């Protein structure tokens, strides 16, 4: 097997796996799946603990260093909450995060306010946007996390910039929320309504409810988008294979050209020799 063969069959394996993943997407549960998605350490798991009322014992483990490596879900009364590993341009973990996003009906894209969206975040958001098709605008929600870690001015500037980036790169401006899970946690534990209010977590919860997610419509659209994407990939792989075939035929032709030339001159000299021999024999008779 040549190197080219192995590349083509590896590509094909990936495409076949994607096809079977799409077919396996039929989900039994009809509760909307709300997934958090974003860079590592953005505060995704912390936010989910607050949204699922895990105030004392964490259901979704949090940490200052990379923590979530696998998908983890909690089934609440109305929703299923799904935690995903942080995106970090590490192929294996990012694939798990992509698989998680593929299962979601709503994605809370969590961005911590250290600046505007990074290129990698925008690239992931663009991919996500495509997979949601018509539902992207409503079902992708931006969460600027750790809002207590910066001044309100600074955070609002960052939010403004993030929304401009979305407008430019995704072609829509998503709903966005400035959330402080830490304030919410403190507010709940110390019974301080002011802190709970300032955390804006309730607003995010209400927003999710007002989305009125039509689980069937979102999933059908996402499967349709995934199938379209896969068909395009298969067409591209077919074209690449065809190019390889033409190149091989070309190589074969040129590699055999000198051999064919040699055979032709051998044939010619044999004919000459035979004629010489026959002439000599005739002369001798």
Which residues make up the interface to Mg ion (CB under 5 A)?
44-45, 67-68
In the complex, what is the shortest distance from the CB of residue 166 to ligand GTP, in angstroms, rounded to a whole number?
A: 20
- If the CB atoms of residues 64 and 193 are measured against Mg ion, the closer one turns out to be 64
Number of shown-chain residues binding ligand GTP (CB under 6 A): 22
Sign of torsion, CA 98 99 102 103? Answer: negative
Contact call for residue 143 and ligand GTP (CB under 6 A):
no
If we measure between CA atoms, which residue out of 148, 144, 147 comes closest to residue 160? 144
Per CB under 6 A, the list member of 42, 117, 158, 204 interacting with ligand GTP is 42
If we measure between CA atoms, which residue out of 71, 76, 79 comes closest to residue 102? 71
Contact call for residue 187 and ligand GTP (CB under 6 A):
no
Q: What is the DSSP string of 158-194?
A: HHHHHHHHHHHHHSS---EEE--HHHHHHHHHTT-HH
Contacts 24+ apart (CB under 8 A), 50-55: 50/181, 50/184, 50/185, 50/199, 50/201, 51/81, 51/201, 51/204, 51/205, 52/76, 52/81, 55/185, 55/188, 55/189
148 binds, among Mg ion, ligand GTP, none (CB under 5 to 8 A by kind): ligand GTP
Distance CA 124, CA 89 (A): 10
Contact call for residue 86 and ligand GTP (CB under 6 A):
yes
The piece of 6-14, 36-44, 248-256, 265-273 that touches ligand GTP (CB under 6 A) is 36-44
Question: Is residue 242 helix, strand or coil?
Answer: helix
The piece of 11-19, 142-150, 218-226, 229-237 that touches ligand GTP (CB under 6 A) is 142-150
- Beta strands 80-83 and 72-75 are antiparallel
Contact call for residue 129 and ligand GTP (CB under 6 A):
no
Per CB under 6 A, the list member of 18, 62, 165, 227 interacting with ligand GTP is 62
Per CB under 6 A, the list member of 123, 130, 148, 244 interacting with ligand GTP is 148
Per CB under 6 A, the list member of 15, 54, 59, 67 interacting with ligand GTP is 67
64 binds, among ligand GTP, Mg ion, none (CB under 5 to 8 A by kind): ligand GTP
């Amino acid at each position: 097997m040549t190197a080219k063969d192995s590349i083509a069959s590896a590509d094909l394996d990936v495409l076949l796996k994607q096809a079977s993943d799409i077919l396996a997407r039929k989900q039994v549960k009809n509760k909307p799946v709300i997934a958090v998605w974003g860079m590592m350490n953005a505060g995704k798991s912390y936010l989910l603990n607050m949204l699922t009322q895990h105030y004392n014992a964490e259901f979704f483990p949090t940490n200052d260093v990379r923590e979530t490596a696998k998908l983890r879900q909690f089934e609440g009364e109305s929703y299923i909450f799904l935690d995903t590993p942080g995106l970090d341009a590490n192929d294996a973990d990012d694939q798990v995060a992509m698989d998680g996003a593929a299962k979601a009906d709503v994605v809370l894209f969590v961005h911590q306010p250290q600046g505007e969206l990074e290129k990698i975040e925008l690239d992931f958001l663009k991919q996500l946007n495509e997979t949601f098709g018509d539902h992207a605008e409503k079902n992708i929600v931006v969460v600027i996390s750790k809002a207590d870690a910066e001044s309100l001015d600074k955070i609002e500037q960052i939010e403004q910039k993030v929304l401009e980036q979305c407008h430019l790169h995704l072609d829509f401006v998503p709903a966005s929320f400035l959330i402080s899970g830490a304030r919410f946690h403190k507010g709940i534990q110390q019974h301080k309504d002011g802190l709970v209010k300032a955390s804006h977590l309730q607003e995010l919860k209400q927003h999710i409810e007002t989305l009125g997610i039509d689980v069937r419509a979102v999933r059908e659209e996402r499967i349709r988008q995934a199938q379209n994407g896969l068909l395009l990939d298969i067409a591209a792989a077919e074209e690449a294979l065809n190019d390889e075939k033409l190149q091989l035929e070309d190589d074969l032709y040129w590699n055999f050209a000198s051999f064919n030339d040699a055979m032709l001159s051998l044939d010619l000299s044999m004919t000459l020799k035979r004629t010489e021999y026959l002439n000599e024999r005739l002369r001798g008779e």
